[in-house]
Amino acid sequence: MRDNILHIKSYLSESMGAEVEITALPNSQKKQLPVLITESYDLYECLLMGVNVCLLLCRDAEATPIRLKKHCDLAQKTLGVHAAVVLSEVKPYNLQRLIAARVNLIIPGRQLFLPSLLMDLRKPRNVINTEGTKMPIMAQCMLLYHLERQSLNGLSAEPIAELLNVSYPTISRAVKWLHENHFVTLSAGREKQISFVKEGQELWQDTEPLMQSPVDRVLHTDAELDALIGSEEALAESTMLAEPNHRCWTISKQQAQEQKSVLSKEFGDHQVEVWNYDPRLLSQDGEYVDTLSLYLSLRDTADERTHKELNQLMNEYVW
């Protein structure tokens, strides 16, 4: 623990440009906090820019972003000072959620994100600055197909368009975006063949923050649909999440148009997600939606249990 505190102190001092002292949080303040915080974190305090900050050194490597935010907010409200969660490491997709939720966050050597103090210092990375950029939905579908179904390396736009059952201009725009953002390279010559710069988990980690939920809208039905299973029902199949008491189907926009007579915006016992791309393109078994799209469709849910099982699903994913 002492080495850990020295590492944090060194990082904060270097970031602040002045010596930062870190001391244990006084017992009088610890006693004010609920047990769920005192048992989950090592508690310290320091002075940053003349402001008292309570440091919550997380002991649970699997703590979800929602839980971290709740605990950080609770500590701030209870103690009446700024609080910041300190993590030794964090997965990229969870880091994006923590930043989006504006959680005060310290990752020694990597990131100092304290929005309540208007501070955001990050370790430089040799990647293109795509902050605020969202990946076009067909570029996303193409990338997921490459990760989950089969390699697209060595193919040009025309055969890729045939694989994904979309028009040539649509795929050309997707390839152009991926190339301009340095995710693929193009071969010389008339038939420009693509090659992804990274593969597997590395490719996913670089691109996941730019991806969108595939869900365009959610409808309802009382009918039994011939469609893939998605959402919480699909997650329950692969994890310990309890099965919902309703069916969760996913369909494409074309399928929604074909079955509009049995779909409703408000009424029906079952849930129907209409996706921006055809979920059948990426399904590996023809029964459930693909794992990465499932994750993207649920990653912004407010339910902590769902987040926990999503994290477990991704931890066990075989790249």
Write out pLDDT tens, residues 233-270. 999 999 999 999 999 999 999 999 999 999 999 899 99
CA distance linking residue 287 with residue 236, whole number of Å? 14
Give 157-181 pLDDT, tens digit per residue: 999 999 999 999 999 999 999 999 9
CA distance linking residue 21 with residue 85, whole number of Å? 17
CA distance linking residue 214 with residue 223, whole number of Å? 23
CA distance linking residue 139 with residue 136, whole number of Å? 5
Residue 132's pLDDT band (cuts 50, 70, 90): very low
| Of the candidates 20, 2, 4, the residue with the CA atom closest to the CA atom of residue 12 | 20
Domains located in the chain, CATH noted? 2-122 (3.40.1350), 137-210 (1.10.10.10), 215-313 (no CATH)
Give 31-41 pLDDT, tens digit per residue: 999 998 999 99
Type of residue at 281: L
User: What are the CA-CA distances from residue 293 to residues 163, 164, 231, 249 (Å)?
Assistant: 18, 15, 10, 14
User: What are the CA-CA distances from residue 205 to residues 16, 183, 292 (Å)?
Assistant: 29, 12, 12
